[in-house]
Amino acid sequence: MTAPDYGHVFSALRNSCPDEWAAYTQHSFVTGLGDGTLPRPAFLHYLVQDYVFLIHFARAWSLGVVKAETLDEMKVCAGTVDALVNHEMALHVETCAAVGIDEAALFGAKEEVANLAYTRYVIDAGLQGDFLDLIAALAPCCFGYGEIGLRLAREAAADTPYADWITTYADSDYQDVMVAVGKMFDAAVERRLGADYQNSARWEQLQTRFTTATELEIGFWDMGLNPA
Ligand SMILES: Cc1ncc(CO)c(N)n1
């Protein structure tokens, strides 16, 4: 499997920014997770920031419940909030606890600017725009980690110390949520813009949201590589 099926809307958005998508999903931080060469301090620095990221990211997905137009959209958004706060964050809490960083320290960690820029951009996309603006800005995070997790599960060195991280995103728990998000995103776009959505007046704006969020993901890996 080269890429999992997260739907045709996601494929169209990704295929329109191939350079940014490659810079995000094949970033040297990702290579280092796979071959195990990522320095531990960079990983822990990233993981603490990512805990804070997920707090605000869950707020953004909660906004999806507010902006939804169908019960199915509400269910997928609520399910994603659950997956983030009750499952994905366990990786962060357990990995950090093992090196003496407790949850209060995680919750109170100083948020770096690249982190803050990313989540507030996504939340603002949802506040200023509609449900599609919000999902277009949320999509790179979700599907990018899904792609990375599956690729590293196939290609990673057997002895990488980052196997727990890889498993979190390759696991069917995470993948099933992403497939559900992809289906919901396809239906949401077709419902509002029609089957010929790529020729609608809204498409360019959604592409900009998606590409900008992808660039903010690249900035997040860059931040991870540079522990303060
Ligand atoms: C920065 C970032 N993007 C995406 C995900 C996946 O939820 C994450 N944990 N962190």
Q: Which domains does the chain have, with CATH numbers?
A: 8-225 (1.20.910.10)
Crossing angle of the two packed helices 131-155 and 203-225, in degrees rounded to 10 = 50
pLDDT mean over 84-102: 95
Phi, psi of 99 (to 5 degrees): -110, 20
Residue-level pLDDT at 3: 61
What ipTM describes this predicted complex? 0.98
Kindly tell me if the per-residue pLDDT of 220 is higher than 50: yes
Kindly tell me if the per-residue pLDDT of 89 is higher than 90: yes
Q: Return the best residue to mutate from 43, 80, 111, 220 for the ligand 1 pocket (most ligand atoms within 8 A of CB).
A: 220
Which carries the bigger pLDDT value, residue 228 or residue 11? 11
Q: Ligand 1 centroid to 199 CA: how many Å?
A: 30
Phi, psi of 20 (to 5 degrees): -65, -40
Contact 218, 211 (CB under 8 A): no
Of the residues 17, 96, 141, 142, only one is catalytic, namely 141
Has 77 been annotated as catalytic? no
Has 103 been annotated as catalytic? no
> Is the full-model pTM beyond 0.90?
yes
Question: What is the C-alpha to C-alpha distance for residues 8 and 182, in angstroms, rounded to an integer?
Answer: 8
Which of ligand 1's atoms lies nearest the C-alpha of 54? 9
